[in-house]
Structures are given as structure tokens and as C-alpha cells.
């Protein structure tokens, strides 16, 4: 490693963390599997979305992606070679229930069974996410998450998957990032299904949270001793200035990005200030919904990428805030601010305000313009530094008493980055899409050395 870079990295040792700490990497079905038309898989909303011109920056789709559906043994070997003891993956609903509900596609479940057995043989603890955004298209045609019927369909999916895998998978995440699946999908229109109504997004989000709460007892019944949680995308929210108006903007923005999910999950219902602001747009709920959403979980999954700096913006959107770019700060190629201290502060805040029993960082990572050098190396010094500094920030949070029990790097492989297509690489391993070769980047080598030192 470059000596200057080496000198600027925090000193870190694996044995500073608990011996049962979970070290892993994260992936998701649509982003890596490919094989979208094989073995009876049904269409997902992402297949449909990608087929619409202008939706995906490079006009690509997950049809082939990393071809993980065929190359999974090699990918699990790669994960194992890093020295991780856990592996997070997601299960494509349309592979299991091609029609969304009803008939189970045995070949779909067989695939995940082979995958899970492959993890167990390699000493990788399986961490399964049930919903990482690939809703069956047939359900979308009946309203998708806007419809309360989709909650019932999700429970059928949960039942089928956990009945088959619950003896071997003991760590379950119901949903990945409801903010993204609902607000980017149903309001901003930049993710599938590409709708643009805030009211729809709020209703969809209510159903997603409800489906989480109702799935918990099913998972526990089919997977004795399982640990179950949800993964949220969370951000520290900071004011653009020290004005009272910006302080109030922080409050509102935090209400939409963080509290809207955390408050109901931790038994406080939807935040009163937000409900008041939303008025008629607030989701329709039924008696008992909020109690189900607040069913106790075993852990909170936190995906952390960047903080948001906000200013008061009267008249702008329902929350009347504007996200401001701090000047002179480090950013990834996505433009996301690099802030390891943001991770520490977010974790402390979660502990202070919600006191989850356990926290797992289920995603954290960065994208840069990686170059495959003629000698076959990818020298991603910036990602390496990002990773090391975020681990150091996590160590600080643990020292402050936050019960962080595991860390999953996003991602094992470069993959299909949703609306950005293949333009954004987040992997510890570079994927040469022309040959499907995987090449461990310098950051991957560093993670391996850290884990095996």
C-alpha cells in the first residue's frame, strides 16, 4: 500500500471488537443475480421499470447483472476468502411466487436453499433480507404497496420462504430501506414503480411498515430462535446555518427521513408534528396497525452513507426544506458527503432516542471511478480510506456504549446500482462486466487483511 495512504489511516485491529462481532458484506437479488427469465421467475417492478426509456441512466437493467445466479459458488468463495463470518443477501419475491401470491415456484426456493447451504458450508452466517425492492409486477398492477392486499401477499411470501429456510437462516431482515422503496418509488418517481404522488408514497410506506410488523410472528414461528429486524436508511441531519429557521428545518427534515420510520417502529406512532404538516396526505390506518408495526424486534439494521445539511425553504415541498451542499468537503463520485463522524453521531443518537437492543450496520460503502489497471489491479485508495475511517467511527460509537454488533460492507461486488445502472461501482471486488471476472480491489485486500491479521 502507498505509505502516505497507510500513514493517514486509523490504526484498527479486529480484536478491538467483540469476538462474536459480525463482519460481513451485503448484496441484493436484483442488483447481482441476473437470470431474470430463468427457472420460472416472474417479472418484477424493476424489470418493467428498466424497460421504460429514460429510467436508467445507461439504459441497462438487471437482466444479466453479475450473473450471480450462475456464479454464486465463486462469489461465496470470494466472500469467504475475505474472512467475513456473515453474508447479507436478499430473496427475489418473483422467483418464489411468480404471481406474487399463490403457487410457489419450487425452482426459486431451490436456488435460495443451495445458496444458503453454500454459505453455511463456507462458515458464512446467512442474513436474509425478504424485500430489497423487487416486487412482483403482477402485484404492482393491483396497486403495489399502495394496496393493503400487498401486505397479505408479503405474508404469504414470508411464510413460503421462512418455512423452507427457517431451519438454517436465523437472521432475517423484513425490509430494506422503506424510505427508498416508497418515497423514491412512489413520490420522486426515480425508482420502480416510478410514480409521483406523495400521498401514494405515504400510504405505501404504511403498508410496508405494517407488513414488517405482521411478518415478525410468522418468521419466529418458522425459524426457531431467529433474530429479526428491519433495515432503515438513516442520516444525521444538520443545519445549514445557526439560524432558528434552519434549526426548525432540521426538525422537519429529520421527521421525514428518520423519525417517520423510527417513531412508529419504537412504539410512538407517526410523529405528531409531521402528521400535522401532512394534513390530508397522512396515510389511512386501521385500528391496531400501529401496535403491530411496533412489535418488538431483535435488532435495528442501519444503512449509513451520508449526512444531510438542510436549510429552511418556505413553500418548497411538504417539508419546506432544501438540502445544501457543504463547501470544501470530501465527496464520493456520487456526490455524497464523506462523513465518518456522521456515522458515530447517528449511532449515538439512535441509542439516546430509541435505545435499540442491538444495532447492525447492514450497509455502508462508497462509489468512486475505479480503474482496472493493465497489471490487473484496482487501486481504490479512496474507498479503502472510506472503509477504514467508518470502521474507526463505529469503534468510537461502541466505546460510547452504542450496542453495535456487526458491520456489513456494501458491497461484495460492483453491481446494478438502480437508476444509475452500472455507472456506479460500490464493490470490494471489481466486476469486469464483459467477462464477468471478479477482481478484488485494494479496499477488498485491506478488509481481508484487517479481518485476518
**Residue 69 interacting with ligand FCB (CB under 6 A):** no
Minimum Å distance from CB 422 to ligand FCB? 12
Q: 110-116: long-range contacts (C-beta < 8 A, 24 or more apart)?
A: 111/39, 111/69, 112/161, 112/164, 112/165, 113/164, 113/165, 114/72, 115/72, 115/76, 115/89, 116/165, 116/168, 116/169
Minimum Å distance from CB 217 to ligand FCB? 26
Q: Which of 115, 180, 290, 393 binds ligand FCB (CB under 6 A)?
A: 180
**C-beta separation of 359 from 300 below 8 A:** yes
Asked about 417 being catalytic, the answer comes back as: no
**Residue 28 interacting with ligand FCB (CB under 6 A):** yes
Q: Which of 44, 158, 176, 321 binds ligand FCB (CB under 6 A)?
A: 176
Q: Which of 426, 430, 446, 447 binds ligand FCB (CB under 6 A)?
A: 426
Identify residues 316-375 at the interface with ligand FCB (CB under 6 A). 363
**Residue 417 interacting with ligand FCB (CB under 6 A):** yes
**Residue 308 interacting with ligand FCB (CB under 6 A):** no
| Nearest alpha-carbon partner for 365 in 440, 450, 424, 433 | 424
**C-beta separation of 29 from 91 below 8 A:** yes
Of 120-128, 175-183, 287-295, 322-330, which part binds ligand FCB (CB under 6 A)?
175-183
Q: Which of 158, 303, 382, 443 binds ligand FCB (CB under 6 A)?
A: 303
Minimum Å distance from CB 297 to ligand FCB? 18
DSSP 118-185: HHHHTTPEEEEEEESS--BHHHHHTTGGGSTHHHHHHHHHHHHHHHHHTTT--EEEEEE-HIIIIIIH
DSSP 85: S
Reported as type and span, the H/E element at residue 154 is helix 149-165
Cα separation, 133 vs 191, whole angstroms: 9
Taking the least distance from each CB to ligand FCB, the nearer of 31 and 292 is 31
From the list 33, 337, 363, 396, the catalytic residue is 363
Asked about 276 being catalytic, the answer comes back as: no
Minimum Å distance from CB 288 to ligand FCB? 30
Of 176-184, 193-201, 316-324, 370-378, which part binds ligand FCB (CB under 6 A)?
176-184
**Residue 234 interacting with ligand FCB (CB under 6 A):** no
| Nearest alpha-carbon partner for 386 in 425, 421, 350, 418 | 425
Cα separation, 27 vs 277, whole angstroms: 36
Identify residues 382-411 at the interface with ligand FCB (CB under 6 A). 410
Cα separation, 157 vs 27, whole angstroms: 20
From the list 177, 337, 396, 417, the catalytic residue is 177
Catalytic residues: 177, 363
Write out the residues near ligand FCB by the rule CB under 6 A: 28, 31, 176-177, 180, 233, 303, 363, 410, 417-418, 426
Amino acid at each position: 500500500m502507498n505509505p502516505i495512504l497507510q500513514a493517514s489511516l486509523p490504526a484498527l485491529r479486529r480484536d478491538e471488537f467483540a469476538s462474536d462481532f459480525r463482519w460481513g458484506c451485503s448484496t441484493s437479488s436484483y442488483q447481482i443475480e441476473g437470470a431474470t427469465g430463468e427457472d420460472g421467475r416472474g417479472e418484477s417492478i424493476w424489470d418493467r421499470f428498466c424497460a421504460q426509456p429514460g429510467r436508467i441512466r445507461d439504459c441497462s437493467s438487471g437482466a444479466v447483472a453479475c450473473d450471480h445466479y450462475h456464479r454464486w459458488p465463486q462469489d461465496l468463495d470470494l466472500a469467504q476468502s475475505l474472512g467475513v463470518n456473515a453474508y447479507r443477501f436478499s430473496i427475489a419475491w418473483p422467483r418464489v411466487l411468480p404471481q406474487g401470491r399463490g403457487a410457489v415456484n419450487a425452482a426459486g426456493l431451490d436456488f435460495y436453499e443451495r445458496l444458503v447451504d453454500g454459505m453455511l458450508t463456507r462458515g458464512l452466517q446467512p442474513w436474509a433480507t425478504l424485500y430489497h425492492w423487487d416486487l412482483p409486477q403482477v402485484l404492482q398492477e393491483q396497486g403495489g404497496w399502495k394496496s393493503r392486499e400487498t401486505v397479505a401477499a408479503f405474508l404469504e411470501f414470508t411464510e413460503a420462504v421462512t418455512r423452507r429456510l427457517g431451519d438454517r437462516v436465523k437472521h432475517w431482515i423484513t425490509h430494506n430501506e422503506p424510505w427508498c422503496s416508497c418515497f423514491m418509488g412512489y413520490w420522486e418517481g426515480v425508482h420502480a414503480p416510478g410514480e409521483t404522488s406523495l400521498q401514494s408514497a405515504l400510504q405505501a410506506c404504511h403498508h410496508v411498515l405494517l407488513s414488517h410488523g405482521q411478518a415478525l410472528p410468522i418468521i419466529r414461528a418458522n425459524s426457531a430462535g431467529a433474530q429479526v429486524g428491519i433495515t432503515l436508511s438513516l442520516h444525521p441531519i444538520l443545519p445549514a446555518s445557526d439560524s432558528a429557521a434552519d434549526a426548525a428545518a432540521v426538525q422537519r427534515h429529520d421527521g421525514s427521513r428518520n423519525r417517520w420510520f423510527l417513531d412508529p417502529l419504537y412504539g410512538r406512532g407517526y410523529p405528531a408534528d409531521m402528521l400535522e404538516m401532512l394534513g390530508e396526505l397522512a396515510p389511512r390506518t386501521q385500528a391496531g396497525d400501529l401496535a403491530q408495526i411496533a412489535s418488538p424486534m431483535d435488532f435495528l439494521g442501519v444503512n449509513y452513507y451520508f449526512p444531510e445539511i438542510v436549510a429552511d425553504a418556505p413553500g418548497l415541498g411538504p417539508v419546506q426544506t432544501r438540502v445544501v451542499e457543504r463547501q470544501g468537503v470530501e465527496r464520493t463520485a456520487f456526490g455524497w458527503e464523506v462523513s465518518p463522524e456522521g456515522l458515530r453521531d447517528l449511532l449515538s443518537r439512535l441509542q439516546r432516542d430509541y435505545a435499540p437492543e442491538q444495532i447492525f450496520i447492514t450497509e455502508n460503502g462508497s462509489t468512486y471511478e475505479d480503474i482496472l489497471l493493465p497489471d490487473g489491479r484496482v487501486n481504490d485508495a479512496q474507498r479503502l480510506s472510506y472503509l477504514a475511517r467508518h470502521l474507526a467511527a463505529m469503534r468510537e460509537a461502541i466505546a460510547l456504549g452504542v450496542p453495535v454488533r456487526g458491520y456489513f460492507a456494501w458491497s461484495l461486488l460492483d453491481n446494478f446500482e438502480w437508476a444509475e445502472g452500472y455507472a456506479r461501482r460500490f464493490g470490494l471486488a471489481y466486476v469486469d462486466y464483459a467477462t464477468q471476472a471478479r477482481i478484488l480491489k485494494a479496499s477488498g485486500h485491506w478488509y481481508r487483511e484487517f479481518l485476518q491479521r
